[in-house]
Structures are given as structure tokens and as C-alpha cells.
Amino acid sequence: MLNPLKYFRKRNVGLALGSGGAKGLAHIAVMEYLESLGIPIHLIAGSSIGAVIGALHCMGKLGAFKEDILKLSLRDLLTLIDPVMPRSGLIHGKGFIRFMERYIPRNALIEDLAIPLAVIATDYVNGTPVVFRTGSILEALRASVSIPGVLVPVRYRDTLLVDGGVANPLPINTVRGMGADITIAVNLHPQIKKRGLRHYVKSTMSSPAVQADTRDIEINGEGQISRKPYPAGGATWLKAVEQWFRPDMGNSGMVMPNIFEVIAQSVDIMEYVNTMLILKYNAPTVLIEPSVIDVETLNFTDADRIIAEGHRACSLVRKSLIRRVRSWV
């Protein structure tokens, strides 16, 4: 049915893409689903992975990114990790920039994008959101994805910036401030994962022979690590990364989580609590909530399943998208 009210003035559709690491690959499905319904996106605000997917969409490179991410292996993922001596983070972030340069030129500016984009980061000193509406896309994205404890914070003016999800994991207010009349939000933290401590299992990694091994690593579901040959010269790199994935075998009969698991769970809890408050006081027109609770922060090798879940989540709100969004634009 035609809605005569929609002809009085143009109504802008704003998309708020939430933070959540690899969970955010579900944002790809949201973009595809909205396009299939003929719903235009006039404005985008994103935190962390939400900013990355939003920027790729604005650049017209999301399709190319999807093709690559669907083929990404664990070996490919590890080549993007550039370890540093742990001070303010475990990973420098140059690998992230190199990867993103496949799709976004280093000199590309936010203000030149055809679709207005806001990239959210967090001021480490005072805890407030920092919203990038101009400047280098890559530099803004690098700040926005600076997961505390994992990626080294970014120096910006007289402060440091960390992940946008720390201060604003679902930037509905930002996209409204950009001029959105209708808002669609994608929440990657509708619930929190309850992680049970695993029973103690003696690890072969404690043997000197394994510690001295210089082959590529592959992690299975039990946390065990297998190896395959890779070019020489990576022994130091391997040992650094391997330590992060190694579970802590204590004397209590339990396996303590590794450093990434501790950081990821802590960040997930923080973002879940903040997101619930955001939705309580700033509800969007339509809320999309993929069930990606089991997706780990850096599990970008499971893209096919995550994207499929994004499509499923969109299908659950199809009627709302048509009635509350498409009918008005």
C-alpha cells in the first residue's frame, strides 16, 4: 500500500553497526538483505568492526572483501598479526592497515565518501566517544578497532584512542545526530556468553621439543595446536603468538583461559552492558540481532556461517523492515 505521507519530504535511513570483532561479519548480510528489499542507506555510523564494514560499503568494496574473507584461512589470519613486546597491546596493527589497503587507498578521506560515514573510537583518557566525520579512513578505522589489550592504542592529538565499542558499541545516537529519521541498528551483543572453565588436560606443548618447534600453528576445538611447515625465519614470531594461544595449566585441576579469551570475554561483557543501556534509552526503528554469541573475537575464518546467521536474523524482522522502513522511503 502506498503511504502518502512519505512524499512530503525525504526521510533518511541511518544504519548503526555495532562492535564485536568477527561477529561483525554478520553486518555484510545486513547490507545484502537491505539491498534485496530495495531499502536505501543514506547514513552509516559504526564502531570497531561496524566501522570497517560500513567504510567498505561506502567505498563499494564490500563484495570484494566478502570474497576474500570467505577464503581466509587461519594461516592467512596469522600473517596479519604483528606481535610487539607487550606494553600497551599485543599487536601493532600494521597488518590490519596492509590488509585494508587492498580495498581502501591510503589517501582516501571520509568526507569524500558518497554515503556519509561516522567512525567511532574512544578517548582512552576521559572515556568519551570520538567521532570521525572527516580525515583518513584508514587512520580512523585503525583507531576504531583498537581492542584494549590486543591492538596498540592510536595516538591522536593530545590523547590515545581505543576501540569504539568501549564508549559506544551501538552508535544509534550518532547516526540520528547525522540526520537519520529512520534508524536500523545491528546489535552483536543481545546476550552474553557464559564461559565454563575447562577441565585440566595435560598439554604436549609443555615439552621442550614442541616449544622449540618453528612451524605454522593450527588450533582445533580442544585448544590443541597442530603444525604444518612454513618458511624459515619465523621462529621468534611463532613463539610470541603461540604463547598467547597457550592455555595456562595450573595445579587447580582447571585450565585457565588464554590471554585472548580473557580480553574477549571482558570486552563482550562491557559491550553487552553498555548496549543494553543504549537500547533502553535510544531504541532504533528496527533492531537486528544476529545470534553470534559463540563467535570468538578473532574468529574471522568462520565467515560463511556468520554471514548466514546475519541473513537469518534479517529475515526475522523482514515485516518490520518493509512496514517501518521501506514504506517510508
Q: Kindly report the CATH number assigned to the domain that includes residue 116.
A: 3.40.1090.10
In this structure, which amino acid lies at residue 120? I
Work out the end-to-end distance of the chain between its first and last CA atoms, rounded to an integer number of angstroms.
13
In a domain, 149, yes or no: yes
Q: Is 266 a catalytic residue?
A: no
In a domain, 159, yes or no: yes
In a domain, 76, yes or no: yes
CB 175 within 8 A of CB 115: no
User: What is the block-wise mean pLDDT of the chain (329 residues), using blocks of 10 residues?
Assistant: 58 98 98 98 99 99 98 88 74 93 98 98 97 98 95 94 98 98 98 62 34 32 37 51 60 71 89 96 98 93 98 99 95
Residue 249 phi/psi, 5-degree rounding, is -90, 100
In a domain, 27, yes or no: yes
Q: Which SS3 state, helix, strand or coil, does residue 251 take?
A: coil
DSSP 18: -
d(CA 118, CA 111): 10
What is this structure's pTM?
A: 0.82
What pLDDT score was predicted for residue 197?
53
In a domain, 252, yes or no: no
In a domain, 236, yes or no: no
What pLDDT score was predicted for residue 238?
53
Domain count, the chain: 1
Which candidate in 19, 47, 144, 163 is catalytic? 163
**What is the Cα gyration radius of the chain?**
21
Query: In the chain, how long is the greatest CA-to-CA distance?
Result: 75
In a domain, 207, yes or no: no
d(CA 101, CA 94): 11
Q: Is 163 a catalytic residue?
A: yes
Which residues span the domain enclosing 68? Answer: 11-195+260-325
What pLDDT score was predicted for residue 181?
97
In a domain, 264, yes or no: yes
What pLDDT score was predicted for residue 261?
82
